[in-house]
Each structure stands twice: as structure tokens, then as C-alpha cells.
Amino acid sequence: MLLALPHFLSFSQREVLVFLTINVLVVCSYRLLTLTGEWSLGHVVMMGVGAYASAILAKRFGVHVPVAMLLGAGIAVVVALALSFPLFRMKGFYFLIGSFAAGEIIRLLWKRFRDPFGGPKGIKRIDPMPDIDFGFWQFTAFDPVSYYYFVLVVVTASLVVMWRIENSRIGLTFHAVHWQDSLAQASGISVRAYRTLALVIASGFAGLAGALLAHYIGTVNPNMFDIEQMVYVLTWAIVGGTATFYGPIIGCIALTVVNEIVLRELGLEQGRPLVYGLLLIGTVLFLPKGLEDAVARTWKLAAGLWSGRQVGGGR
């Protein structure tokens, strides 16, 4: 179904679909970080680190684009590792604010240093993915449908990896770190090491998402990774719910479709933030466990009705 999807959409909706798929990776990697109980406000900046790194590598040093993307993700990992030393002296609210400060400093450095970051206007004319002829199918980087398939493969692979991590011993330890901090410590787990691991993995995937974005739109600038974007990621995760793997994905898809397609179709240009804001408030008030909970309940209800009917049919 995901493969056929773009063919039912208008051209601009295909563009939105590409960005949406990339954002799914961002929000899922964000959830991985929250498993240990830490909420960061610097995640989008880590995405930006991947984007900037990959763009500079490809443009300045002529690194092959797919390689640059992976290196970009790698550099996001390194930066996250470096940041983990100061940041994991903090917890909870302090970590939230500390990650914001660290991210904002990185962003201001991009703005300040025109060489190599391009200053406020950022980097333009970033090399696109090379076009590839597979014989049966031609990949064209400028074409949203082509790029969507490419992104879909990368994001799906990343999600599988994150899923495996979550359900491995490491993932269980993440949960343990969240719920029973002192107990985990007593049982000999280095809490800090696991927090760092979660941050580093999450940042790596965020960096990859940033690189995917950078080589598609061909530009990066400091404003693309500001607190406003971070707030969107945060709201996707919380509105969707973070108890399940699919929660943030639902949140991201639902809010993006509402904001970018439904509200635009309604022609509510000026009123768009108004409706979006009201929807956010409404969701946390009336669906405090997130959309995932509503989906799970609907699912149960439907299943119940179904089995009920079958029982009824049996009589």
C-alpha cells in the first residue's frame, strides 16, 4: 500500500509525503531517546548536524552523496557523544533545558561562522542524490516519487533496526533505566552509559534524516532546525503517544495531514496555526494517552464487535 500511495496523490501532496516519511524517522528516533525517560529539546539540531555535515562533505570534499549521508549520521553520533558528557550531568527538566541550550549554541555557531556553514543563509546548491538507472526502474532524485521510494527504503530499514534495538536486551535496559533508576543502578547497570547509548543512537538516526532532507531540498539553513521545528517533533510524539512503537508515527502522520493538507485545502491560511493549536490542546485534554491509545481501543472495540458478531452468527 505504501508503494502505491504516491500515485493517488497530487504533485504537492507527493512532496509532503517525502517530508512526512523523513519526519517519521525523526520522531521515531526521538521516541528511542525518550525510552530512558529523558526528553530532549536538541533533537532537531542533531538532525541539522547530520544535514550540515553531509552537505559540506558532498559539496566541499566531493564525497559521493550516499556515503556523505552515512558520514553525516556518523558525525551526528560523534557530536551527540561529545554532548552527552555535559548533558548527562542533568536529568529531567534540567536535561530538557540543557539540551535546548546546547542545541541553540550549535545553531548560533552555524549562523556565526560563514565559513564553512554559510552563515544565516546556510548552504545552498547541495548536490542531489545521483540518478540511477536500474533498468526496470529509473531513480531520479528530483522526482518526489523516486525519492519517496528511496526514503521509504532507508526509513523502513532504520525503523527495523530501532525496533530490534528496543526489543533486545539493550532496549529492555532502556526501559529499566526509565522506570527504576536506582534499582537499575543497584543491579550493576551503568545508567549513564545506557542513557548515552540511547542519545547516540537516536541522534545518529536523526542525523540520517537530516541528510536525507538536505540532499532533497538542496539547502540547509539554521532556521530549519530551530526550536519551532523541535516543538513540532515534540507535539507529534506526545499527541501520538510514546508507549508504543507506532504511537509517534500516528501522531506525526495525523498532525502533518491535518496541518499541511486538510487545513490548506480549507483555505485557512491565516487561521491554520489557530486550528492546529486548538487541536493540540484538545488532544492532550481528551486523549491524554495519545492517539495510540485511541487506536488501540478502537481496534479492541472493532475486534470485540467482530467476535461478538461471529458468536451471534453461531447461535
Instruction: Decide whether 91 or 192 has the Cβ nearer to another protein.
Output: 91
What's the closest the beta carbon of residue 134 comes to another protein, in angstroms? 12
138 in contact with another protein (CB under 8 A): yes
What the block records as the C-alpha cell of 152 is: 521509504
- For residue 226, what are the contacts with CB-CB under 8 A and spacing of at least 6? 44, 107
In terms of CB distance, is 15 or 166 closer to another protein? Answer: 15
Q: Which positions ≥6 away from 253 have C-beta within 8 Å? A: 20, 24
Pick out residues in 177-216 that bind another protein (CB under 8 A).
Answer: 213
Restricting to residues 230-289, name those near another protein by CB under 8 A.
231, 234-235, 238-239, 260, 264, 269-274, 276-281, 283-285, 288
Cβ of residue 15: shortest distance to another protein, in angstroms?
Answer: 4
Shortest Cβ distance from residue 259 to another protein (Å)? 10
The answer to whether the beta carbons of residues 201 and 32 sit under 8 Å apart is: yes
Q: Of 16 and 63, which CB lies nearer to another protein in the complex structure? A: 16
Q: Which of 115, 136, 311, 313 binds another protein (CB under 8 A)?
A: 115
Is 155 among the residues that bind another protein (CB under 8 A)?
no
- How many binding residues for another protein (CB under 8 A)? 80
Residue 113 or 306 having the CB closest to another protein: 113
Among 109, 243, 266, 303, binds another protein (CB under 8 A): 109
| 10 is an interface residue for another protein by CB under 8 A | yes
- Name residue, grid cell 554559510: 118
For the CA atoms of 45, 51, 52, 55, what is the dihedral angle to 10 degrees? 180
What is the smallest separation between the CB atom of 238 and another protein, expressed in angstroms?
5
Minimum CB–partner distance for residue 49 and another protein (Å): 17
Q: At its nearest, how many Å lie between another protein and the CB of residue 102?
A: 6
Asked whether position 296 contacts another protein by CB under 8 A, the answer is: no
Q: Binding residue for another protein (CB under 8 A) from 1, 11, 134, 136?
A: 11
Piece of 25-33, 98-106, 164-172, 187-195 that binds another protein (CB under 8 A): 98-106
Report if residue 121 touches another protein, rule: CB under 8 A: yes
Instruction: Return the residue matching grid coordinates 530501532.
Output: 162
Confirm or reject binding of residue 105 to another protein (CB under 8 A): yes
Contacting residue, 156, 180, 185, 223, with another protein by CB under 8 A: 223
Q: Per CB under 8 A, does 130 bind another protein?
A: no
Site residues (CB under 8 A) for another protein, limited to 26-55:
39
